Amino acid sequence: MSLLVCAASVISTSWSQSPLEPHAVVGRIQVPVVTQVLKLAEPNPISIGAVGGSVRSVLTSWTYYVGNIPYPAPEEDRGLPVSYDSSGGASISATPLKLGKAQLALFVIFTDGGFERKTINVQVVQPQRQPEKLVITLGGNYRSETPVLYLDLSEAHRTKHVDPAAIYKNVTTPVPLNASDVTFKLINSPGAAAEIDPSTGIVTARFVGQALLETTFGGVSTLTCIDVMNDVRMGPRSRCEELLPPGRRLPPSGMELDPTPPPQVRALGPVGDEEHPAQVASGVMAGQILHKEDPIYPDDAKQAGVSGYVVMHAKIDPKGKVVDIKVLSGPPMLRDSALDAVKKWTYKPYLLNGSAVFVLTLVTVAFNITP
């Protein structure tokens, strides 16, 4: 596999100042701008030099991009290891966990109390080593592997978005991949009961039956069974045994290999009750908001130059009240403020078949430091 070479450029960012930041300085950080490769899921050393003083501490944060849309790095990808040398400089060990365009923000504090911020623009490319494993997940839950997709022909369960991820040795968290990073192919599936859009990873049911999806990345592939039923709540369910090529099998459920057989199929409660809330796209629920409370930007986060997005899973009851909310990702310094704000939001009741139901949706709160 050939490695792409990229030029890493360093740009200074514009930050607002407050009376709490009397020692802001400019031009004291020196980062070599050389032709280099930042390899996915591997440590990449970046040297930081200091002009007119010594580095006391360095705070870091990644921002990844899908197209031109920025996304904050997951919690596991923050707080990069930093070492300090006798010359007053420092070195970061940067292990990016997303392919493509990225930005690494530095907040450097000097021993004399001055501080400076810089942003390094980089391009993350595939490493030479193969991943140990490739997994398919749903809804960005990279801790839970999905070997079988269960669909039916109803509007609620006709489509699903698959999220591939790579498992690398010595990397503690799965590495999320975009649909454009992998190759999708339906195999051994004549007249397939489902189809996949390779540009988005969206699987759509066509008719009742099965299809077998092969996903490939970095020389490693995995199989996913797509089982289209009359009703996903009732079964019966399949694992595409008749479609599997000789010598191949589906991965077991769960990130940790679990030999326990799948549970017997049972009838679930109606979609939309408290235990089985209807999963509704964030864009749809955004149009249902009646009252939206803006978050308070924490002073310590402003002072440290922390910005980004807090992504949460919210459960909304039939009256439109947020009854449960959990943070999926976002800068730790901003999470409590985002939670406090969204807990106060109210929505128009979401109707399913004419009745108000419980809803599970994603909510994203943005924090931006403006001049």
- Per-residue pLDDT, 12: 35
Domains located in the chain, CATH noted: 6-125 (2.60.40.10), 133-243 (2.60.40.1080), 278-367 (3.30.2420.10)
Could you give the CA distance from residue 69 to residue 278 in angstroms, rounded to a whole number?
Answer: 27
- Per-residue pLDDT, 131: 96
- Per-residue pLDDT, 274: 80
Residue located via tokens 């701008």: 33
DSSP class per residue in 11-49: EPPP----TT-TTB-SS-EE----EE-EETTS-EEEEEE
Evaluate whether 197 touches 206 at the Cβ level (below 8 Å).
no
pLDDT in tens, the chain (371 residues): 333 333 343 433 333 333 334 467 888 888 876 446 799 999 999 999 888 888 888 888 888 887 777 877 765 566 688 888 888 999 988 889 899 988 888 888 888 888 888 888 889 999 999 999 999 988 766 667 889 999 998 888 899 889 999 999 988 888 999 899 999 999 877 778 899 999 889 999 999 899 999 999 999 999 999 999 888 877 677 888 888 888 888 887 644 433 333 333 333 345 577 877 777 777 778 889 999 999 999 988 888 888 888 888 889 999 999 999 988 778 888 999 999 999 999 999 988 778 888 988 888 888 887 75
Evaluate whether 142 touches 197 at the Cβ level (below 8 Å).
no
DSSP class per residue in 176-227: E--GGGSEEEEES-TT-SEEEETTTTEEEE-SSEEEEEEEEETTEEEEEEEE
Could you give the CA distance from residue 176 to residue 153 in angstroms, rounded to a whole number?
Answer: 29
DSSP class per residue in 289-349: EEE-PPPP--HHHHHHT--EEEEEEEEE-TTSBEEEEEEEES-HHHHHHHHHHHTT-EEPP
- Per-residue pLDDT, 269: 42
Statement: the pTM of the whole predicted model exceeds 0.75:
no
Could you give the CA distance from residue 134 to residue 132 in angstroms, rounded to a whole number?
Answer: 7
Q: How far is CA 173 from the centre of its chain?
A: 11
Could you give the CA distance from residue 166 to residue 177 in angstroms, rounded to a whole number?
Answer: 7
Could you give the CA distance from residue 168 to residue 130 in angstroms, rounded to a whole number?
Answer: 8
Reference 96, options 60, 68, 69, 130; nearest CA is 60
Residue located via tokens 């979609």: 271
Reference 121, options 11, 47, 219; nearest CA is 11
